[in-house]
Structure 1
Amino acid sequence: MSHDAKSAPSDSREHLLRILFHLSKTPAKPSGNTRERILSTAIVLFAGRGYAGTSMRHVATRVGIKAASLYAHFPDGKEQLLREGLDEIFDAFLRFVTQPLATDADTTEQLRIVLGRHVHWQLQFADKAAAWDTALEQFSLDDELPNDYAVELRSRQELYHSYVMALVGELSDMPGARERALAILALCDRAKLWHVSGGGSRATADEVAAFIWSMAMCLVKPEEAVTAERS
């Protein structure tokens, strides 16, 4: 496997360390227990029925427990379910995409790994990914949640977005690193479009990741991408 001659500059490494520090303060919760099932179910229902159209009884029925038991886990009701559900999905995503990374890996390798893991998350955890995307598109967080939490959630997103933007900026001399990084992230978010499960032609997540990586390189290093295509 080839690597860039230079190691990743401090800017992207600093953003990665911020993500790792954030995750160190929020240890992973056990998967498959009642609390995790409640949160996963609630987020999916909120995305499908809408926040206002989902009651605590709806969540309890889908999980298979009594509403009173649901309040025992989440005494603050729907707001707590929405907050903690979104928190856990995004922190699980951050762990998933950064797990294989080494802070001394070169810039290209970091970007390749992160984008590949992003694609795998979208396909392997499709329900959670879709629920997260739908929730953010459907809900006005400033209306549904206290403003301080809306700010906190956006800053958590910015941890990841800023890291990818830093990587793109370090790899390309072209202006507009933020816009190009957001375009690449949008490709990853829509990974299912190129997978057989979404009507695409690629049978595996690795094939989709390789395709999206090639498109990302067209945005990061267009001259090199064109040269490689011609050769």
Structure 2
Amino acid sequence: MSHSSRSRLRMQTASLPPTPSDGTRRRILETALQLFATRGYHDTSIRDLAKALELQPSALYAHFPSKEHVLAELVRIGHEAHHEALALALKEAGTTDPAEQVRALVRVHTRLHALHPQLALVVNEEFYALTPEMAAPALALRTQSTLLLAEVIERGIAQQRFSPPHPRATAAAISAMGVRLPYWYELDNGLDVDTLADVHAELALRMLGVRERK
């Protein structure tokens, strides 16, 4: 992550999607999110987190057994919010047209990464600091989310609506548009989130070589 990206994220308030966690536990997660996003997981200690929260390290351990458990919870929250939003977007699209389904998926994917840049960055960069056992719940959600887009693309190809040069590579490129947002996008840079989501949706359809219905 570039120094400029870290500086920009440091100036923003870290936010989490709605979760069952509240009180001290949520405050721990939000503070850890800010520190992990701006310093990095490995460069943030339990003492750093306790100091930022004005708590004793022992108070943190009452909520999370270790720093890795804090990261695992953030990663799970991020993946769960992402998957639920994608599934809801497909349901609310109310259409069987693969092009419109892709548009719905890409728009919500873009919005989540643009509105929660710290969480998006920690989920995608620090995920690999977790042991396989700790990463397993989030990895299962990531696989399900990947399949949602892959299945829509497959249907689009079968219906001759899409003609991508390589389905899997194109799906990865579409996903990467959202994943890269924390590195460059700023809410006050003259490009609002809804317009950005529409731009990404249009780019995704172009990458898929969408064809008009016959």
Q: TM-score range by the shorter chain?
A: 0.7 to 0.9
In the alignment, residue 32 of structure 2 is paired with which amino acid? Answer: A
Q: How does 1:1-231 map to 2 (within 5 A)?
A: 29-30=19-20, 33-74=23-64, 76-102=65-91, 105-106=95-96, 107-136=98-127, 141=128, 144-171=129-156, 172-174=162-164, 176-191=166-181, 197=187, 202=191, 204-222=192-210
Structure 2's unaligned 5+ residue stretches are 1-17, 157-161
Normalization by structure 2: what TM-score? Answer: 0.74
Contact 1:56–1:78 (Cα < 8 Å) also in 2? yes
The structural deviation recorded for 1:196 is 5.2
**Matches of 1:79 and 1:222 in 2, distance apart?**
43
Give a deviation string over 1:79-130, Cα, whole Å, max 9, x none.
2112112111221222333334428632333321221111111122222122
In the alignment, residue 54 of structure 2 is paired with which amino acid? Answer: G
**Matches of 1:206 and 1:61 in 2, distance apart?**
38
The structural deviation recorded for 1:31 is 5.6
**Matches of 1:79 and 1:192 in 2, distance apart?**
23
Task: Identify the residue that residue 7 of structure 1 maps to in structure 2.
Answer: none
User: Mean Cα displacement is larger for which, 164-173 or 112-121?
Assistant: 164-173
3-state SS in 2 of match to 1:102:
helix
Contact 1:47–1:134 (Cα < 8 Å) also in 2? no
Query: How many pairs were matched up?
Result: 188
**Matches of 1:50 and 1:190 in 2, distance apart?**
17
Give a deviation string over 1:126-162, Cα, whole Å, max 9, x none.
22122223324xxxx3xx4333334443332111111
Sort the Cα spacing of 1:207 and 1:93 in 2 relative to 1 into closer, same or farther, 3 A. same
**Matches of 2:101 and 2:164 in 1, distance apart?**
19
**Matches of 2:21 and 2:63 in 1, distance apart?**
16
Contact 1:42–1:81 (Cα < 8 Å) also in 2? yes
Contact 1:123–1:205 (Cα < 8 Å) also in 2? yes
In the alignment, residue 82 of structure 2 is paired with which amino acid? Answer: F
3-state SS in 1 of match to 2:62:
helix
What percentage of residue pairs aligned between the two structures are identical? 26
Sort the Cα spacing of 1:71 and 1:148 in 2 relative to 1 into closer, same or farther, 3 A. closer
Sort the Cα spacing of 1:198 and 1:223 in 2 relative to 1 into closer, same or farther, 3 A. farther
Contact 1:195–1:208 (Cα < 8 Å) also in 2? no
CA RMSD of aligned residues (A): 2.7
